[in-house]
C-alpha cells in the first residue's frame, strides 16, 4: 500500500530553515492503518511565527496544529496511540502538562516528554504523534 501525504492549511508546514525555502517534510503521512504526524510547534498557520512566549499558549497552539493535521488525515484524538514531546525548558513541564490534560479531555495516549532544544528560536514545545485506524 502506498504512503499518502496528508496536509492541512490549518497547520503550518514545518522543517524549513527560512520561510522562502520549501519544506522537505510532510505534515503527515498515512501508511496503512497508521498516520504519522510530523513534529508541530506553536506557529501560527499563516504567518509561521511563534504565537507567544507563554508555554500554556504555545502548548495549545501546538496541539491545535497537531489536531488539524490529524483531522486532515481522517483522525481524531481518539486515534492517537503515541505522542512525543520536546520541551526547551523542563521547568515548563507542570504548566505544559496542565494544558495538555485540559486539551486532551481525558483521552489516554502513550507519551514521552524530554527536554531538548527545538530548532527554532522561541519555540518552547514541539509534539509529534502516531495515530491508528484499527
* Of 126, 121, 100, nearest in space to 38 by CA: 126
* Of 22, 26, 31, 6, nearest in space to 132 by CA: 31
- Residue 118 in this model has a pLDDT that exceeds 70: yes
- What confidence tier does 1 reach under pLDDT thresholds 50, 70, 90? confident
Q: Report the pLDDT value the prediction gives residue 38, as an integer from 0 to 100.
A: 96
CB contact at 8 A, 35 and 54? no
Q: Report the pLDDT value the prediction gives residue 17, as an integer from 0 to 100.
A: 60
Q: Which residue has the higher pLDDT, 121 or 111?
A: 111
Distance CA 17, CA 31 (A): 27
Q: Report the pLDDT value the prediction gives residue 22, as an integer from 0 to 100.
A: 78
Q: Report the pLDDT value the prediction gives residue 21, as an integer from 0 to 100.
A: 76
* Structural domains in the chain plus CATH codes: 4-132 (3.30.1330.40)
- What confidence tier does 133 reach under pLDDT thresholds 50, 70, 90? very high
Amino acid at each position: 500500500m502506498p504512503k499518502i501525504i496528508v496536509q492541512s492549511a490549518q497547520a503550518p508546514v514545518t522543517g524549513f530553515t527560512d520561510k522562502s525555502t520549501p519544506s522537505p517534510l510532510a505534515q503527515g503521512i498515512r501508511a496503512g492503518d497508521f498516520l504519522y504526524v510530523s513534529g508541530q510547534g506553536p506557529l501560527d498557520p499563516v504567518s509561521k511565527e511563534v504565537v507567544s512566549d507563554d508555554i500554556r499558549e504555545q502548548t495549545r497552539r501546538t496541539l491545535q496544529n497537531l489536531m488539524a493535521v490529524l483531522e486532515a488525515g481522517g483522525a481524531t484524538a481518539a486515534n492517537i496511540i503515541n505522542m512525543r514531546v520536546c520541551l526547551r525548558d523542563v521547568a515548563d513541564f507542570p504548566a505544559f502538562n496542565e494544558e495538555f490534560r485540559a486539551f486532551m479531555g481525558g483521552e489516554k495516549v502513550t507519551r514521552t516528554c524530554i527536554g531538548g532544544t527545538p530548532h527554532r528560536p522561541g519555540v518552547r514545545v514541539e509534539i509529534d504523534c502516531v495515530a491508528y485506524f484499527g
